[in-house]
Amino acid sequence: MQRTFVMVKPDGVQRGLVGKIINTFEQKGYKIAGLKLMQITRDLAENHYGEHRGKPFFEALVGYITSGPVVAMVLEGKDAVSAARNIMGATNPVQAAPGTVRGDYGIDIGRNVVHGSDSPESAEREINLFFSPEEIIEWQRTVDPWIYE
């Protein structure tokens, strides 16, 4: 089992898409291990998006992600990192396949509705950045034998 970090960005929250987006991951079979509404500080934004520092869109990206509350979550399950990326779709929503979150709900790359970790290493880093250990719940889900062989 693997964990990944997923976030509904401020545009997704403002547009009332939180429930739909969480449901997309939930109905696939991923288990919620952590979930909260939060306001990202500038410090956290710059840290989270550290790999993009110096790029032309960095300032706009930090402005975007701090512009309103986000919904941060930890999702757990088999191949959670790559599966969540597939469910989200391509970074540029215009290129994202229909049926993906970005493909169904976005147009601009700077308003692409969701974030998801891009590797198991990023997932660990981002989970630790956004969640304290007590905020992550280990629980038994009784339907698991109907989701996993």
Write down the catalytic residue from 25, 72, 115, 123. Answer: 115
For 44, phi and psi rounded to 5 degrees? -65, -40
For 105, other C-beta atoms within 10 Å of its C-beta total 21
Contacting ligand IDP (CB under 6 A), which of 28, 110, 125, 136? 110
Binding residues for ligand IDP restricted to 18-47, rule: CB under 6 A: none
Q: Kindly state the smallest distance separating residue 108's Cβ from ligand IDP, in Å.
A: 8
Alpha-carbon Rg for the chain, nearest whole angstrom, is 15
Is residue 115 part of the annotated active site? The answer reads yes
Pairing of strands 70-77, 2-8: antiparallel
**d(C-alpha 72, C-alpha 79), whole Å:** 19
Q: Kindly state the smallest distance separating residue 61's Cβ from ligand IDP, in Å.
A: 5
Q: Does 115 bind ligand IDP (CB under 6 A)?
A: yes
**Which residues are annotated as catalytic?**
115
